[in-house]
Amino acid sequence: MAHRPRKRFSQNFLVDRSIIDAIVRAVKPAPTDNMVEIGPGLAAITKPLSKVVRPLHVIEIDRDIVERLRIDFPEGCLTIHEGDALKFDFAALGTELRVVGNLPYHISTAILFRLAGIAHALRDIHVMLQAEVVERMTAAAGSSDYGRLSVMMQYHFDMEAVLDVPAAAFRPVPKVESAVIRMLPRRDPTARAKDEDLLAQTVALAFSQRRKTLRNTLGQVLSAADFKTLDLDPQARAQTLAAGEFVKITNYRCEQGT
């Protein structure tokens, strides 16, 4: 039975066999993997993954697709979690979790931030995103694409774009190009912020007015003396600071109670 793609779920289904095979090769599934797929859709990636990983966890919000999965896959092959990935408790699946999927593009950033919050419990992430989102995530400090998403993802993960995916690989054909990114949680304890909530707040504040200088954005939490102590140019803009520099600012704020 044909499934009509639903715009409210950002449904564009991957149909290009060569791309599907390339994604599976990039993931390199193993029988002992603790793996979850976000948005299995019409099971293009689910099928080859489930032949190796048993059971494969999948999260799907579309009830019609959930019913298809229950019919098409034998018992014990999949563990189906029906619901919204933004509300799913990924931590409940345990540690060394591998995350894969073609993320719904309208909520992809929100899902990435949820996964960043449990990075310590993850082994890796392989997800398909809009190509421009991947460019923003991996952008270097000082570039026009560099922003809050870049800083927070680079703080939590080492990242690598592993595959470009043309729009023609989907049905219906989207208006954007896509890419698959590999994300590996960073384990270096010396690079951690003392308060990760404060780090997120500091980064958000610094980028709250992108064209403003740090004096204007962070001036409400850092004094002129603080800028000097941190060897931070108050006339610089947030996009010039690497993730490690935001960690330095955050740890200083923790020490000073600002």
Please give the residue range of the domain that contains residue 29.
7-187
User: How much is the pLDDT for 11?
Assistant: 62
CB 181 within 8 A of CB 134: yes
- CB burial string 131-141: b at 16+ within 10 A, e below: bebbbbbbbeb
Last residue of a domain, one of 187, 216, 235: 187
CB 202 within 8 A of CB 219: no
CB 18 within 8 A of CB 39: no
- 48 and 103 housed in the same domain: yes
- 167 and 195 housed in the same domain: no
CA neighbor of 137 nearest in space, from 159, 170, 104, 166: 159
Last residue of a domain, one of 158, 187, 216: 187
Would you place residue 3 in the very low, low, confident or very high pLDDT band (cuts 50, 70, 90)? low
Which two tokens mark 46?
């689910």
User: How much is the pLDDT for 171?
Assistant: 87
Comparing 6-10, 11-15, 218-222, the range with the smallest average pLDDT is 6-10
pLDDT exceeds cutoff 60 at 6: no
1 found inside a domain: no
Question: Given phi > 0 = left and psi -120 to 50 = alpha, else beta, which region is 232?
Answer: beta
CB 186 within 8 A of CB 155: yes
Number of helices and strands in the chain (H, E)? 10, 9
3-class SS at 218?
coil
Residue 189 neighbours by CB under 8 Å, 6+ apart: none
**DSSP string covering 128-145:** EEEHHHHHHHHPPTTSTT
- 176 and 211 housed in the same domain: no
Torsion angle defined by CA atoms of residues 41, 32, 91 and 188, in that order, rounded to the nearest 10 degrees:
-120
Secondary structure percentages of the chain, helix, strand, coil, to 5: 40, 20, 40
The model's pLDDT over 174-218, given as tens digits with 9 standing for 90+, comes to 889 999 999 999 999 889 999 999 999 999 999 999 899 999 999
User: How much is the pLDDT for 12?
Assistant: 82
pLDDT exceeds cutoff 80 at 64: yes
- 171 and 197 housed in the same domain: no
- 206 and 176 housed in the same domain: no
Beta bridge partners of 130: 178
- 45 and 155 housed in the same domain: yes
Residue 50 buriedness (CB in 10 A; 0-12 / 13-18 / 19+):
buried
Distance (Å, whole) CA 162 – CA 98 = 16
Q: What CATH number is given to the structural domain containing 17?
A: 3.40.50.150
Tally of domains in the chain? 2
* 137 or 3, higher pLDDT: 137
- 195 and 180 housed in the same domain: no
